[in-house]
Chains A and B, each alone.
Chain A
Amino acid sequence: MTAATLKFAIRNLRHGLAGFKIFLACIALGVTAIVGVDSLARALTDGLAAQGRTLLGADLVISRMHRQAESHELALIQSKGRITEIISLRGMARAHQKAALVDLKIVDQSYPLLDAPVFNPALPLQKIMEEKDGVYGVAADAALFVRLGAKVGDQIALGDTVVELRATLVNEPDRIGAGVTLGPRVIMNRAAFEKTGLFRPESLIRYAYRLLLDDPRDENLGAIDGSLNSTLTAAGFELRGRGNVSPQLTRNIERFSQYLGLIGLTALIIGGLGVANAVMAYLDRRRKTMAIFKAIGASGSYVFQIAFIEVMMLAGLGTLIGILLGVSLPYLVAVLASGILPFPIVPHLYPDRLLLGALYGLLTSASFALPILGRAHDLPVAILFRDDTSQDQIRVRQRYLAMTILVSLVLFAIILFAVRERQITLFVMIGISLAFLLLKGVGVLIMRWARSVPHPKRTEWRLALGNIYRPGSITPALTLALGLGVTLLVAISATQNNLVQLVSSGLPTKAPSFFFVDIPARDVAAFDQFMKEKQPDARVSHVAMLRGRITEVKSMRAETVVAGDNARWVLDGDRGITFSTTVPEGSRIVEGTWWPADYSGPPLVSLEADIAKGLGLTLGDMIKVNVLGRTIEAKITNLRRVDWQSLGINFVLVFSPNTFKGAPVSYLATLTNENGAQSAESETQLLVDAAEAFPAISAIRVREALETVREMIDQLALAIRGVAGITILASILVLAGAVGASQRRRIRDAVILKTLGATKARLLSAFLTEFAIISLVASFFGLISGLLAAWVLVTLTFKTAFTWPLGDPLITTIVAVLVAIGLGLIGTWRVLEEKPARHLRAS
């Protein structure tokens, strides 16, 4: 590039952006999607981090399962600042012949250290919880009132005691920091809790000590975190600072935003088609100017450079617009959704992500524009004095094809470098490339077919077929744009259908109806008998369960282990663990051997195979787990594959039975109806009966849990469809651009045909037939490739059987065809309105 070529390019652009509006919109949309999703995800995670103190309810939370802090441990924590103790566990609330799983939060006099919960009626918490007439009070989520059919003032049973519902919990600022809740929240004090009888050593109780530092500066927090960590993690405590409120939530936001970003990338690549069409139209408009340049002394490469600079300047403008819109998204969401999200959004500008968005926009534009602009090099000057259609057959020089390949490879490399989920991204990129090739091939086939059809008698059909295969037809562009858009929509819709079906009907037919947790060992036999009487056709399985934390892996502290994405969660916090003499149901050994039933040597452990791979563990490696205050060191003797989808009782860690000999354990049980799922009413009755008979046991209805999962899938799908909507918009713009690019020729043809006697109706019929044929074929292949893409995603990523849905995808395809024909109709109408004389005089 020289100063002169830059100067010529600017001169050419002086006359406005006519003909480039769709080009700008296509690039801007794609960049908006990518930058917007990325910025929003960052703003969400930054919001979590920025509000960490409030969300956590402290600067630091030190917690462990099963055991309260010993006095020396408590003294150590208390020496660093103000503390409050929070006890949490699950329980069953009963009232009015109904029962509901609840998440209990037992607080002390010091709670809260920071922002207080909000209640209705607006009473102080200590007042709500105080004892009145021998009954303690509680505050609860509105959902509990609904489930039990209760109101403020009603009494409910919790364990062995009765408490009074004195207020609805309207807002709980530190809820996210407490982790995932399965049931409605109930807040009570320690005295009330002790009356419930749920306070047992083996119960799944978490003791959390929230610490508010006198000096909350980050350096001080870091120092205290470090000093407490070294002493307390060995005792089984987990420490979480305000900068890491919910690691799982943060990971989920990042992961989800990456998936949305992939859809945004698809929008950008579809937008690339719009770039290609716009550049072709630009070449068409500027060919005379380029020929003049060549006639008066410019070389072919000079002409190419001017054109390339012009196009890239416009790409830069489109990219800039996209970036501006994208970075505005979190600000917009912050304003519109401030009351909906459980934590605030903290929008920022992230220069590295903006640069990435800019690179995506510019490189995509370049890779689609280069092979077309390359034609400018060999544009024949003869068009100045002869009507030359050989422009359409110009072969692009190898240097421009090489540049295209290089730019595309750089774009691919940057995409793969920037994402975390590289494997899925690679699949998606390959999938898009394959879809491209397939649809390009389909475009060629349509044209060949149209050429081979014997001349139909009706003129309109002859015209339509001729328009399909003639040089410069819109068939390739329309096939690609429409086909890709339909592919994406069908893939999303079919994947969602499969996931919802899996959750709604696929799993429950073989999954348990209930999980019962915290069954005291002494009650197991009575519980079995109870279930046999109430559900004679059901199968009850139970295993001992404790909670423990992995503290060391191969002599490395768990916090320092670099784990794969799929295994990191195992090191975060405590896990359910069990012991067994035999291989658990639903597991199969893939490496190593199981211990003998009478094994009594040092502790051995069986690990889930994928987790082992993610943690870099193999047979013979040692891990340390803290359980009930004891650190157990065990050797890995076998690896298992677990069928998680059976929803049976399965654990990542299974120990040899002698490991926990003499330890207080509780049991986890499942109830599975061999004859298929029972009715909702029958399940509800069982829930109530079990809660009455065994107040200490908590019951989780799988049906409800799956319903929650399904709602989550639907909500996530909404977000996905939102971003996919941008992709569809890009497809529509590309379609509109393709139709617009062919306007000049259509107008010329229509003018001549009108002069020769063709009516508007016949011309309209010809154009619509052309669009209908191309749209139907392109959409059909889009439907096929979309279903194939969904099949790959569901079977390979989610590892489940694929159901071939037809309803939604078919509707999607039909709508796409109608939209394409509609756009064609609008474009055609303009053509038919043109007055012939104006065009005949000009030529």
Chain B
Amino acid sequence: MINGVKAVDVQSLHIELGRDASHVHVLKGIDLVINQGEAVGLVGPSGSGKSTLLMAMAGLERAGSGHIKIADQDITTMSEDELAQFRGRQIGIVFQSFHLIETMTALENVAVPLELAGHRDPFQRAQKELEAVGLKDRLSHYPSELSGGEQQRVAIARALAPDPTLLLADEPTGNLDATNGDTIVELLFALKRERNMTMVLVTHDLRLAARCDRTIQLNSGRVITKNDSSS
């Protein structure tokens, strides 16, 4: 449910990457607001800066200038360790390539952020999350023993285990076939509704974008269109 409270507030964000000949001005003054409970799709052609914007919201890319507030906290002024801890508590991230830890089982993968945050019963909680994504029978399987769709479901469970207020997903169906992709999309939106999370998706998939409350279109590092006006 969208309640008008700002979940994400990006102000005059500039990000530049690379040095010398490889220098690129990826984001050129991004301003946008995402309200609590919204599902927002970031769309645009390749190289438009949408993944970079997503990673900046996650604190995984440093802003050159400007501010990013997540749940009213300015993450551009946090240190690396503060960011890591903030991410662990407030932000869940789902990657296109899943990025599970190969040497850990599904259960252990999901438990990791809970263990890092010092939760009392991380494995119990992790098991619940995996059951919620339909992987009750895959708890002790390693990533190499799971299909692509199952791996992404583990990644989603891991992202949601700490009960974050913000879920960021970078092309969550990019490495999946159509059937699995649909399943993942359904799962994401169901969980989003259930937990009243804010969700920001990067996607090339127009159907997925259409399911969002609104889309923000980027091109060459700038916001071209958005369904809602920034406040």
Q: Could you tell me which A residues sit within 8 Å of B by CB distance?
A: 4, 7-8, 11-12, 14-15, 288-289, 291-302, 378, 381-382, 384-385
> By the criterion CB–CB under 8 Å, are B55 and A292 in contact?
no
The answer to whether B60 and A381 touch across the interface, beta carbons within 8 angstroms, is yes
B81-112 residues with Cβ-Cβ distance < 8 A to A are 81, 84-85, 87-89, 93, 95-97, 99-104, 108, 112
Query: Contacting B87 at CB < 8 Å: which of A4, A289, A295?
Result: A295
Check B112–A293 contact: CB distance below 8 A. yes
Contacts of A382 in B (CB 8 A): 55, 60-61
User: Is A297 a contact partner of B117 (Cβ separation < 8 A)?
Assistant: yes
Known: A296-B112, A297-B116. A385 touches B162 (CB 8 A): no
**Chain B residues with Cβ under 8 A from A300's Cβ?**
80-81, 84
Q: Any chain A CB within 8 A of the CB of B151? A: no
B51 contacts partner chain A, Cβ-Cβ < 8 Å: yes
Indicate if the CB atoms of B103 and A295 lie closer than 8 Å: no
A-B contact pairs, 12 of them (CB 8 A): A14-B103, A288-B99, A292-B101, A293-B112, A296-B87, A297-B116, A297-B162, A299-B84, A299-B85, A300-B84, A302-B116, A385-B51
CB B26 to nearest CB in A, in angstroms, measures 11
Separation of A537 and B112 alpha carbons in the complex (Å): 93
Q: Which chain B residues border A12 with CB–CB below 8 Å?
A: 103
Q: Which residue of B lies closest to A377 (CB)?
A: B80
Give a binary string over B153-174; 1 marks a CB under 8 Å from any A CB, 0 the rest. 0000010001000000010000
| Residue B44 at the chain A interface, CB threshold 8 Å | no
Residue B115 lies at the interface, judged by CB distance under 8 Å to chain A: yes
Contacting residues, chain B, for A288 (C-beta < 8 A) = 99
CB distance from B177 to the nearest CB of A (A): 16
B103 and A384 within 8 A (CB): no
Known: A298-B88, A382-B60. 12 other contacts (CB 8 A): A8-B112, A12-B103, A14-B103, A292-B100, A292-B101, A293-B101, A295-B60, A295-B87, A297-B89, A297-B162, A381-B60, A384-B60
Instruction: Tell me whether A298 and B116 are in contact (CB under 8 A).
Output: yes
A289 touches which of B85, B103, B108 (Cβ 8 Å): B103
Cβ of A385 and Cβ of B85 under 8 Å apart? Answer: no
Q: Report whether A297 and B99 are in contact in the complex, using a CB–CB cutoff of 8 Å.
A: no
Cβ-closest chain A residue relative to B122 = A4
Most A CB contacts (10 A, CB to CB) among B101, B102, B162 go to B101
Does residue B113 face the partner (Cβ distance < 8 Å to A)? yes
Q: Are B81 and A299 interface neighbours, CB within 8 A?
A: yes
Q: Which residue of A lies closest to B171 (CB)?
A: A385
User: For residue A295, which residues in chain B have a CB less than 8 angstroms away from its CB?
Assistant: 58, 60, 87, 93, 99
- For the complex of A and B, the 7 pairs showing the least CB-CB separation, nearest first, are A297-B88, A299-B81, A297-B116, A296-B113, A299-B84, A381-B60, A15-B103
User: What residues of chain A lie closer than 8 Å to B102, measured between beta carbons?
Assistant: 289
A391 to chain B, nearest CB (A): 15
Q: Which residues from A are CB-within-8-Å of B108?
A: 11
For A288, give the chain B residue with the smallest CB separation.
B99
**CB nearest to A12 among chain B residues:** B103
Q: Can you list, as one digit per residue, whether each of B56-80 has a CB less than 8 Å from chain A (1) or not (0)? A: 0010110000000000000000001
Q: Which residues of the partner chain A approach B112 to less than 8 Å between Cβ atoms? A: 8, 293, 296
By secondary structure, the A interface counts as: helix
CB within 8 Å for A299 and B80 given contacts A381-B60, A385-B55? yes
Residues from chain A with a CB closer than 8 A to the CB of B84 are 294, 297-300, 302
Q: What distance in Å separates the Cβ of B151 from its nearest Cβ neighbour in chain A?
A: 13
Among B87, B95, B104, point to the contact of A297 (Cβ < 8 A): B87
Give chain B's interface residue range (CB within 8 Å of chain A).
20 to 34
* Smallest CB separation, A305 vs chain B (Å): 12
From B80, B99, B115, contact of A384 by CB (8 A): B99
Minimum C-beta distance from A548 to chain B (A): 75
By a CB distance below 8 angstroms, the chain B residues around A14 are 103
CA distance A8 to B99 in the complex (A): 17
B88 CB contacts on chain A under 8 angstroms: 296-298
Note all chain A residues with C-beta closer than 8 A to B51.
385
In the bound complex, CA of A4 to CA of B112 (Å): 10
CB distance from A293 to the nearest CB of B (A): 7
Partner of B81, one of A15, A292, A296, A301: A301
| Shortest CB distance B25–A (Å) | 16
B20 to chain A minimum Cβ distance, whole angstroms, is: 13
Residues of B within 8 A of A296 (CB): 87-88, 93, 112-113, 116, 158
Can you list, as one digit per residue, whether each of B113-124 has a CB less than 8 Å from chain A (1) or not (0)? 101110000000
| A457 CB, min distance to chain B CBs, angstroms | 25
Nearest A residue (CB) for B101: A289
Write out the residue numbers on chain A whose beta carbons fall within 8 Å of the beta carbon of B158. 296
| Residues on A with beta carbons closer than 8 Å to the beta carbon of B58 | 295
Bound together, the chains give a CA A300 to CA B116 distance in angstroms of 12
Residues in A whose Cβ lies below 8 Å from that of B95 = 384-385
> Which A residues touch B100, using CB under 8 A?
292
Which B residues from 180 to 222 make CB contacts under 8 A with A? none
Asked if B113 and A297 make an inter-chain contact with CB atoms under 8 angstroms apart, the answer reads yes
Minimal beta-carbon separation of A604 from chain B (angstroms): 78
CA distance A296 to B60 in the complex (A): 10
> Which partner residue on chain A sits nearest B108 by CB separation?
A11
Interface centre among B51, B97, B116, B117 (most CB of A within 10 A): B116
Chain B residues within 8 Å of A384, by CB? 60, 95, 97, 99
Distance to closest chain A CB from B27 (angstroms) = 14
Q: How far is the CB of A220 from chain B (nearest CB, A)?
A: 65
| Closest chain A residue to B117, Cβ basis | A297
Q: A14 — nearest CB in chain B belongs to which residue?
A: B103
Q: Report the separation of the CA atoms of residues A385 and B26 in the bound assembly, to the nearest whole angstrom.
A: 15
Query: Does A385 contact B80, Cβ atoms closer than 8 Å?
Result: no
Q: Which residues of chain A are within 8 angstroms of B99 by Cβ–Cβ distance?
A: 288, 291-292, 295, 384
B111 to chain A, nearest CB (A): 10
Instruction: For the complex, give the distance between the alpha carbons of A299 and B89 in Å.
Output: 13
Q: How far is the CB of B155 from chain A (nearest CB, A)?
A: 10
Q: Check B115–A385 contact: CB distance below 8 A.
A: no
With the chains together, A296 CA to B97 CA distance in Å? 15
Q: How far does the alpha carbon of A382 sit from the alpha carbon of B116 in the complex, in Å?
A: 20
Q: Bound state CA distance, A289 and B112, in angstroms? A: 12
Q: Of B112, B113, B117, which is in contact with the most chain A CB atoms at under 10 Å from its CB?
A: B112
User: Are the CB atoms of B61 and A297 closer together than 8 Å?
Assistant: no
Return B204 CB to nearest CB of chain A, in Å.
15
Complex Cα–Cα for A291 and B87 (A): 13
Q: What residues of B have a CB within 8 angstroms of the CB of A294 in the complex? A: 84
Q: Tell me the smallest distance from the CB of A292 to a CB of chain B, in Å.
A: 5
Expressed in whole angstroms, the Cα–Cα distance for A289 and B96 within the complex equals 16
Q: Give the residue among A4, A15, A295, A301 with the most B Cβ atoms within 10 A.
A: A295
Give the distance in Å from the alpha carbon of A298 to the alpha carbon of B102 in the complex: 17
CA distance A301 to B55 in the complex (A): 22
Chain A hits for B103, CB < 8 A: 11-12, 14-15, 289
Bits for B10-48, please: 1 = Cβ < 8 Å to A, else 0: 000000000000000000000000000000000000000
A385 to B55, alpha carbons, bound, how many Å?
9
CA distance A296 to B117 in the complex (A): 10
Q: Which residues of B contact A291 (CB under 8 A)?
A: 99
A299 to B86, CA, bound (A): 10
> How many Å from the CB of A9 to the closest CB on chain B?
11
Residue of A nearest to B90 (CB): A297
A741–B87 alpha-carbon span in the complex (Å): 33
Q: What chain B residues lie within 8 Å of A4 (beta carbons)? A: 115-116
Q: How far is the CA of A297 from the CA of B87 in the complex (A)?
A: 6
CB distance from B9 to the nearest CB of A (A): 22
Min Cβ gap A177→B in Å is 62
* Chain A contacts for B55, CB-based, 8 A: 382, 385
Give Cα A243–Cα B60 distance, bound, in whole angstroms. 71
- Report the separation of the CA atoms of residues A600 and B97 in the bound assembly, to the nearest whole angstrom: 102
Distance between Cα atoms of A368 and B101 in the complex (Å): 27
The complex places the Cα of A64 from the Cα of B81 at a distance, in Å, of 78
Complex Cα distance, B105 from A11, in Å, reads 10
B122 CB to nearest chain A CB (Å) = 10
Q: Which residues of B contact A299 (CB under 8 A)?
A: 80-81, 84-85
How close is B78's CB to chain A, nearest CB, in angstroms? 12
